[in-house]
Amino acid sequence: MALYSTNNTQAGSQQNLSSAYKTIVSLTAATGAATLKRGWIYEWEVGADGAPNASDTTIVWDWSRQSTLGTGTSATPSPLDLADSAAGLVSTVNYTAEPTIGVSLMTVALNQRNSQRWIARDEKSALIIPATNVAGIAGRAKSAIYASTVVMTEMFAE
């Protein structure tokens, strides 16, 4: 199984948060029946990278199923082992138009001055990206008060 990393500093312009969810990083199956692959997000790291708001506040992070791409910047996932081929999953970052979002798989609220790392304990607890055309998982964030940028890194296997 090949391992990859992607994050929203790889391409495009980071988008400021607002009180509505903003998709930061999404991983989706590639278009085309011959290239469709499943994937497993087994680790993520998140945190604010802008100046904190003077009023202490939270950032809500969410990973949800998505069924359309929306509009964002394509980012090339980095293989963790250079002997592995290019990733078959599509990484899209820094969305300017939101994808169609379905059910939430994981949500965590953190203080704006906090960062967090999550690691799946095994393959069964990973977030699974289906081998369905442009379906995937969107990593999103929102805040009622913090209105600057954030960083999200996702490690995945395929």
Token pair of 115 as six digits: 């960062």
Give the predicted TM-score (pTM) of the model.
0.92
Instruction: Quote the pLDDT of residue 134.
Output: 87
Instruction: Quote the pLDDT of residue 33.
Output: 62
CB atoms within 10 A of CB 11: 16
Instruction: Quote the pLDDT of residue 15.
Output: 93
Residues 4, 39, 107: CA angle, nearest 5 degrees:
95
Q: At 34, is the pLDDT very low, low, confident or very high (cuts 50, 70, 90)? A: low
Residue 42 has pLDDT above 80, yes or no: yes
Instruction: Quote the pLDDT of residue 112.
Output: 87
Provide the domain limits for residue 9: 3-157
How many structural domains does the chain have? 1
Over residues 116-140, mean pLDDT: 92
Q: What percent of the chain has pLDDT over 70?
A: 98
Token pair of 144 as six digits: 């009622």
Which residues have C-beta within 8 Å of that of residue 141, sequence separation ≥ 6? 17, 21, 22, 24, 46, 59, 60, 61, 62, 150, 152
Lowest mean pLDDT among 26-40, 92-106, 126-140: 26-40
Over residues 21-29, mean pLDDT: 96
Q: At 51, is the pLDDT very low, low, confident or very high (cuts 50, 70, 90)? A: confident
